[in-house]
Amino acid sequence: MKRLHLIILSSAFVAMVSCQSHKVESTIGSSPEVEARVERILSQMTLAEKIGQMNQVSAGGDVTNYAEALRKGQIGSILNEVDPEKINEYQRICIEESRLGIPLLVARDIIHGFHTIFPIPLGLAASFDPDLVEQGARTAALEGSAQGIRWTFSPMLDIARDPRWGRMAEGSGEDTFLDTKMAEAMVRGYQGASIDTTSMAACIKHFVGYGAAEGGRDYNSTNLTERQLRNIYLPPFEAAVKSGAMTLMTSFNDNDGVPSTGNIFIVKDILREEWGFDGLVVTDWNSMGEMINHGFGTDKKDVAKKALEAGVDMDMMTFGYLSHLEELVRNGSVKEAALDQAVRNILRVKIMLGLFEHPYVNAEAGKTVQYAPEHLETALKSAEESAILLKNDGILPLNEEGIRSILVTGPMADAPHDQLGTWAFDGQKEHTVTPLKALQERFPGKVTFIPALSSSRERKTRFDDVVAAARRADVVLAFLGEEAILSGEAHSLADLNLKGSQSELLEALKLAGKPVVATIMAGRPLTIERDLPNCDAILYSFHPGTMGGPALVNLITGDVNPSGKTPVTFLRTVGQVPLYYSHTMTGRPYNGETLLDDIPPEAGQTSLGNTSYYLDYGAYPLFPFGFGLSYTSFDYSRISLDKDVYDEGDCLEISLTLSNTGKYDGTEVVQVYVRDMVGSLTRPVKELKHFERVYLKAGESRDLRISIPVSELAFYGLDGIKKVEPGEFRIWVAGDSASGEPLSFTVE
């Protein structure tokens, strides 16, 4: 692996030299003026003041708790304070009462909205709409910055292929390309087109591989090879760095035995040297200290030294730098120059955010920005686009005229806190519009509400009331899933079926004989195979946020046509983990062989086909990546490429006609997948290389042209160098990852 790394470094070096002789640019957009200012401040700082800048603490309670430390310059950043008055007071102490007047960087986990809560990031990814996601992040930045928060610990770019991992909710799912597009969009949104007082510095996290936790148990070890890192897990981070992300967070996990916070190879060699990142690197919460638990360091002094050597600038809540760096510098164990570099990275961000000029906010004015009507509007649209129609026997959209009574049931129908999802600290449930509330408004006097289960986990054997009510209703709308607490950090699950007696509730409702529409709110793709026969339609909305209720009502009634697509493979059973669309091909691909129930009694060891599958569940998922229905239907025709043979510098020019062949106007997410047929390494059977949302009126057809640079087909091959390997490729243009007929082309 060392060899692979060296080759990459040397090729990067060659590229730098041959391109031009000018200085490598700042990835965060710094200028000579900013750098001069950084140096001016740095030159005035004592060792203790430098170490203070590298220390981040969590606010708690009274401002006076930290006043003395702030005066002494012992704190560079505070997280978890959202009260603008207190933030102003913290800043005032720093500016007016500390020796150098360096402002604080105030941080918060604003993950999918500050007060106005958007769908969880996994839901946002289902929209396949980076522009809208950017608008959502901008909204979050407007609300956060108005209250003095200028740094958010988002976006989370961890590729996740195991839905047991609770933090799948916080990312964009399983795919590198989709994750990359969402990463770029969120960085643009948080930081704005140019940095000003409404910018929140983005923090790309968790660097790196955290989503590949063994067994889906949070914080667990990962064992990703350098090739997997470079081809699958690192690209979203690299793209976000290129988009100007100002900060990055190291992850909790150890990969191949090295905890990220002390990983010289990923932080120093790849992030700093290869990518030239000159932003701020912060640890995750106590991830420096936890290197002791990992058995990677003896004590706080030891791990502080290791983190600094890896290139980590700021310590979140270990206090390892604060307590030990001075001694380490004085006894010569670490060089002051290493500290200087870290402090430069911190000051650069503070200067660029304009904190020195604008440390304070107008607390009163800031309040009026929260939940602004246009913010709620963006949240509504995001929730509409995030919902995926997984099944529809024709009951949706509801024929409103024929409906006199609606039974609303299920634990998520009126769960204003839980529909906000994980990491929604500041979204107040009083502002949430639940499906029940939205339905009562839309259908006054026609809605009967019987929750049937008080929580997703309640167990019950009889559903007499709700079944009797279902018999009297024209349609049953069941809102099921999992509460916010069942996903997110440290909330992994080993069983992904609907919890409690939710499946039994659906079964009972089905027997009542009325159409049943299930809406599932969850932080991950649950295994809902057994529930499909018991409902006539299923909308999967993940946790949809503040405006989830009206969004779902708009979808159910057909005011809005569903357009979301699965950002992650939906499994039939948890035993299929990991199952993702862009796997490599085995030497014995599944070929539709015999399943358990069909095995004849006399079958011998070798009579079943000897291919790669499960005897009991086959080889396929419940719903593939990129899948989602609409109330209309789309037809792809006349798909062609402009050439058969391409050079590396070319673009693939794809033409096709997309037709809306159904009765409703609607949006299709057109997806392009490519397979590199033969490589120096086995290649994924399909990789997403392009997507776009196309809106067509009922009956409308449109000719589309899609352009994909051949350079997009490059990967790190056997020789460790990123390039396009010549040979044959296949390409699919379709509405999901399992459809379409391939075309072939060659790269010479």
Contacts with ligand BGC by CB under 6 A lie at 109, 153, 205, 284-285, 489
Closest contact distance (angstroms) between CB of 219 and ligand BGC is 9
Q: What SS3 class is residue 709?
A: strand
Closest contact distance (angstroms) between CB of 166 and ligand BGC is 11
Given the complex with ligand BGC, which of 284 and 482 has the nearer CB atom? Answer: 284
Catalytic residue, chosen from 109, 158, 284, 426, is 284
What gap in Å lies between CA 569 and CA 619, rounded to an integer?
A: 12
Distance of CA 83 to CAs 106, 115, 325, 413, 424, Å? 11, 13, 32, 32, 16
* Long-range contacts, 602-609 (Cβ 8 Å, 24+): none
Q: What is the DSSP letter of 261?
A: G
Question: Which two tokens mark 397?
Answer: 């959209």
Given the complex with ligand BGC, which of 213 and 579 has the nearer CB atom? Answer: 213
Question: Which two tokens mark 86?
Answer: 């207190």
Distance of CA 64 to CAs 49, 93, 148, 390, Å? 20, 10, 18, 53
Question: Which two tokens mark 206?
Answer: 């968790």
Closest contact distance (angstroms) between CB of 123 and ligand BGC is 18
Given the complex with ligand BGC, which of 285 and 540 has the nearer CB atom? Answer: 285
- Tell me how long the chain is: 748
Name, in order, each residue with C-beta under 8 angstroms of 493's C-beta and a sequence gap of 6 or more: 164, 166, 216, 486, 524
Closest contact distance (angstroms) between CB of 186 and ligand BGC is 14
Given the complex with ligand BGC, which of 285 and 716 has the nearer CB atom? Answer: 285
Given the complex with ligand BGC, which of 285 and 617 has the nearer CB atom? Answer: 285
Question: Which two tokens mark 36?
Answer: 């001069």
Instruction: Evaluate whether 92 touches 69 at the Cβ level (below 8 Å).
Output: no
For the chain, how far is it from start to end, CA to CA, in angstroms? 29
Instruction: Evaluate whether 75 touches 100 at the Cβ level (below 8 Å).
Output: no
What gap in Å lies between CA 565 and CA 666, rounded to an integer?
A: 13
Given the complex with ligand BGC, which of 121 and 136 has the nearer CB atom? Answer: 121
Given the complex with ligand BGC, which of 284 and 736 has the nearer CB atom? Answer: 284
Name, in order, each residue with C-beta under 8 angstroms of 151's C-beta and a sequence gap of 6 or more: 77, 105, 106, 107, 108, 200, 201, 203, 247
162 is catalytic: no
Tell me the backbone φ, ψ of residue 624, rounded to 5 degrees.
-75, 165
Closest contact distance (angstroms) between CB of 177 and ligand BGC is 23
Instruction: Evaluate whether 279 touches 349 at the Cβ level (below 8 Å).
Output: yes
Given the complex with ligand BGC, which of 252 and 463 has the nearer CB atom? Answer: 252
Closest contact distance (angstroms) between CB of 230 and ligand BGC is 23
Given the complex with ligand BGC, which of 250 and 378 has the nearer CB atom? Answer: 250
Taking the CA atoms of 323, 328, 334 and 335 in sequence, report the sign of the dihedral they define.
positive
Distance of CA 404 to CAs 210, 392, 395, 398, Å? 50, 21, 15, 12
Closest contact distance (angstroms) between CB of 317 and ligand BGC is 8
| Tokens 């948080």 -> residue | 190
Given the complex with ligand BGC, which of 162 and 284 has the nearer CB atom? Answer: 284
Tell me the backbone φ, ψ of residue 111, rounded to 5 degrees.
-95, -45
What gap in Å lies between CA 244 and CA 446, rounded to an integer?
A: 52
Instruction: Evaluate whether 65 touches 89 at the Cβ level (below 8 Å).
Output: no
Q: What residues does 436 pair with on adjacent strands?
A: none
Given the complex with ligand BGC, which of 151 and 580 has the nearer CB atom? Answer: 151
What gap in Å lies between CA 594 and CA 349, rounded to an integer?
A: 60
Question: Which two tokens mark 10?
Answer: 């040397």
Q: What is the 3-state secondary structure (H, E, C) of 646-672?
A: ECCCCEEEEEEEEEECCCCCEEEEEEE
Which amino acid appears at position 420 of this protein? L
Closest contact distance (angstroms) between CB of 205 and ligand BGC is 6
**How, if at all, do strands 55-58 and 77-79 pair?**
parallel
Closest contact distance (angstroms) between CB of 79 and ligand BGC is 6
Estimate to the nearest angstrom the gap between the alpha carbon of 201 and the chain centroid. Answer: 17
Closest contact distance (angstroms) between CB of 150 and ligand BGC is 15
- For 678-735, give the DSSP string: S-SS--BS-EEEEEEEEEE-TT-EEEEEEEEEGGGG-EE-TTS-EEPPPEEEEEEEES
Given the complex with ligand BGC, which of 154 and 660 has the nearer CB atom? Answer: 154
**How, if at all, do strands 105-108 and 722-723 pair?**
unpaired
Closest contact distance (angstroms) between CB of 109 and ligand BGC is 5
Closest contact distance (angstroms) between CB of 284 and ligand BGC is 5
* Long-range contacts, 22-25 (Cβ 8 Å, 24+): 24/276, 25/276
Q: Cis check for the bond before 155: say yes or no (omega within 30 of 0).
A: yes
Of 520, 519, 479, 517, residue with least CA distance to 496: 520
Q: Which residue is nearest to ligand BGC (CB)?
A: 153
Question: Which two tokens mark 221?
Answer: 């070890």
What gap in Å lies between CA 668 and CA 565, rounded to an integer?
A: 9
Burial group, residue 159, by CB count within 10 angstroms (0-12, 13-18, 19+): buried
Closest contact distance (angstroms) between CB of 282 and ligand BGC is 9
Active-site residue set: 284
